[in-house]
Amino acid sequence: MLETISFAQRQRLAYIDFCLLFKGAIYRQDLINRFEVGLSAGSRDFSLYKELAPHNLIYDAREKRYFQTEKFEPLFEHDAKRTLVKLANDISDGFDAIGDIEFPVESASSLNVPDIYIVAKIVQAIVNNKSVSVIYTSLSSGSNARELVPHSIVDNGQRWHVRAYDRKSKSFRDFVLSRMSKVTVKTSPHPHEEVSHDTAWQHKISLEIIPHPKNIKHPTAIELDYGMQNGVLSIDVRRAMAGYLLRRWNVDCTKHASLRTGEYQLWLKNHEVLANIDNLAIAPGYIAEQTTYG
């Protein structure tokens, strides 16, 4: 039946489907505002969606919005990788569900793509300020039940991870999204578990990155690659993300630029800025006492 519906209406149905999957609910006004349609057209879209997927949504007259049901099954196919990219760039319209144009652009291979239903539950928890119960498989302790309060999903250059308060360790940590299973959205968090108390996330540091002084004979080439000004690239980054950026770019973080192999074309000039930052065991050449990678 979807094939007989106009492209514009399929877009609107995909948006309803997207919001129910990733937010858990949608107001009729959300659809009207997004697509600038009239009230009657919006009502027809919800009626058609309910006809196509009668067990996917239920209307709450008190809150005046539609909620996802326990029997929800997406009406459209939502690709996990493309959806994460769109969420990261605030393009949460669900258009990818109905087939975007394929452009001849390739990216480097990434690790395992997360399960779309796991992504949806985590996004629901973040959007609605809820905690989650998950089964998480870590390198140190294997598979165990964890209670987390997620606040952000991050692409660290190799894989997607979730920044969350971990009730087991009583600290904010990073959890690889593809290592999660059986996610259940739970109750609202306590104040100390919310993002405002994640100091490593809230606070930023300034990194001064320059061409490697010992490995690069013609630093101007590197300066052009990275758009450096006066030979320096200054980047403000969250403390919680510093290690990932430095590893992704192969930035030599040793005090005396002592990493001499060819992949190290950059050096962190202000090495001292990394003092007292967790999760720097992954920064090339920097020896950290501990890591908070789950």
Note whether 146 and 212 are same-domain residues.
Answer: no
What CATH number corresponds to the domain at position 131?
2.30.30
Least confident of 61-70, 95-104, 188-197, 255-264: 95-104
Identify the CA nearest to 201 among candidates 161, 250, 158. Answer: 161
Domain boundary among 199, 217, 252: 199
Give burial (CB, 10 Å; 0-12/13-18/19+) of 191. Answer: exposed
Please tell me the distance from the alpha carbon of residue 49 to that of residue 208, in angstroms, as a whole number. 52
Does one domain contain both 72 and 125?
no
The owner of tokens 């065991």 is 281
For residue 27, being part of any structural domain is answered with yes
Domain boundary among 199, 221, 253: 199
Question: In terms of domains, do 120 and 133 share one?
Answer: yes
Q: Are residues 193 and 212 in the same domain?
A: no
Question: Residue 70's domain is classified under what CATH number?
Answer: 1.10.10.10
Taking alpha carbons only, the member of 230, 265, 232, 271 closest to residue 248 is 265
Question: Same domain for 13 and 66?
Answer: yes
Which helix (H) or strand (E) segment holds residue 34: the answer is helix 28-35
Residues 6+ apart with CB under 8 A from 214: 257, 260
In a domain, 167, yes or no: yes
CA atoms within 13 Å, Cβ hemisphere of 250: 10
Which of 85-99, 160-174, 243-257 is least confident?
85-99
Host domain of residue 30: 2-78
For the segment 177-193, what is each residue's pLDDT rounded down to a tens digit? 999 999 999 999 999 99
pLDDT, residue 141, reads: 86
Give the total number of structural domains in the chain.
3
Examine the fold and report which residue of 165, 199, 233 is the final residue of a domain before the chain moves on: 199
Asked if residue 104 is part of any domain, the answer here is: no
In-domain check, residue 52: yes
Is residue 282 a part of any domain in this protein?
A: no
The pLDDT assigned to 104 comes to: 52
3-state secondary structure of 25: strand
31-71, pLDDT tens digit by residue?
A: 999 899 999 999 999 999 999 999 999 999 999 999 999 99
Contact 250, 263 (CB under 8 A): yes
283 within some domain: no
